[in-house]
Amino acid sequence: MLRDAQRAVVVDPGQSAPVFAALQAGGLQLEAILVTHHHADHTGGVAELHAATGCRVIGPATEPVPEPAERVAGGATVEVFGLRFEVIDVPGHTAGHIAFFCADVGGAPLAFTGDTLFSGGCGRLFEGTPAQMLASLDRLAALPDDTRICCGHEYTLSNLKFARSVEPHNTALADHEQRCQAQRAAGRPTLPSLLSTERAINPFLRSRNTDVIDAVRRFAPDTPRDEIGIFAALRQWKNDFR
Ligand SMILES: [Zn+2]
Ligand SMILES: [Zn+2]
C-alpha cells in the first residue's frame, strides 16, 4: 500500500480483508488498485475492494483481471495518486505480466515487480520462456540503482539460501543474508530491496557473471554456454533446489 493522509493505492491485493482493515485504521480512501498479473494470490481481493470503494483497477492488457479494469501494457504511463507510473512489460512468470515504475516517490524511485523479480530470486516460468524472463529481468535491471524493489512475496531467505549455493564466495551476498536473517528474526520484512543490492546478490540478475556460469556448468555440465541456456539451467536448478 502507498498512502498519504487521505488516500491509498494498493498493489496485487490477494485478499480484501487486510486492505479494508488498513483503510479503516488510517481513515483512507482507496483510489486505485494496480495489478501486475492474473494469479489469484494477486487478484483475489480486487472484486470486493472495487465493489466497496468504486476505486480504479489498472491491470495488464492481455490477462484476465476482475472487471471493470483499465488495461495497460509496456510503454504506457499511469497517473494515480498524483504519481506517474511507467508500465514495463515483463513476461515470463505469466505471459502478460507487467511491472510499475515510478521515478520519484518521496525522493527515490519505486518499482512494483510482482512475481518477476524477487529479492534474491525471480518467479517461476509458468507461461513464458527463459529468453522472455531474461529479457524482462534485463529491463528491470536497467532501472536506477536506488530503485526500491517492492515484490510480490517475502521469499528472500529461501532465495538467498539458493543464491549462496550458486555463489558461495560472494561476500556481498553473505553480508546481505546476515542482514535479512536479522530482519526476519526481529519479525520485520526484508522488503523493499534495492536494485543495487539485487545486482550484487541476485543470481538471476548475475547469470552472465563468470562465477555464476561456472557454478551452473558444474551443476549441469551439459548446459549450453549461451546466455539463455545458462539462465534456463539456473532457473531449473532453483526449481529442484531444497
Ligand atoms: Zn504469480
Ligand atoms: Zn504470487
Q: What is the DSSP string of 73-95?
A: -TT-EEEETTEEEEEEE--SSST
Residue 242's pLDDT is 86
Mean pLDDT by runs of 10 across the 242 residues of the chain is 95 98 98 98 98 98 95 97 96 98 95 98 98 98 98 97 98 98 98 98 98 97 95 97 90
- Measured in Å, residue 135 CA sits from the centre of ligand 1 at 18
Task: Report residue 159: phi and psi, to 5°.
Answer: -65, -40
CB-based contacts of 145: which residues, under 8 Å, 6+ apart?
Answer: 194, 195, 196, 199
Residue 81's pLDDT is 86
| Closest ligand to the CA of 38 | 1
Query: In the numeric block, which cell numbers belong to residue 235?
Result: 532457473
CA distance 126 to 94: 6
Active site annotation includes 97: no
CA distance 79 to 81: 7
Ion ligand 1 neighbours, Cβ < 5 Å:
39, 115
Say if CB 37 and CB 93 are below 8 A apart: yes
Ion ligand 2 neighbours, Cβ < 5 Å:
41, 115, 152
CA distance 63 to 93: 12
Q: How many CB atoms lie within 10 A of CB 32?
A: 22
CB-based contacts of 3: which residues, under 8 Å, 6+ apart?
Answer: 9, 26, 28
Catalytic residue among 39, 50, 97, 176: 39
| Closest ligand to the CA of 153 | 2
Active site annotation includes 176: no
Catalytic residue among 12, 38, 42, 97: 42
Query: In the numeric block, which cell numbers belong to residue 151?
Result: 515484490
Active site annotation includes 146: no
Which residues are registered as beta bridge partners of 79?
84
CA distance 88 to 213: 27
Active site annotation includes 169: no
Active site annotation includes 41: yes
- Measured in Å, residue 37 CA sits from the centre of ligand 1 at 7
CA distance 101 to 119: 16
Catalytic residue among 12, 38, 50, 93: 93
Query: In the numeric block, which cell numbers belong to residue 147?
Result: 530503485
| Closest ligand to the CA of 93 | 1
Active site annotation includes 37: yes
Query: In the numeric block, which cell numbers belong to residue 166?
Result: 550458486
Which residue from 166, 119, 109 is spatially nearest to 142, judged by alpha carbons? Answer: 109
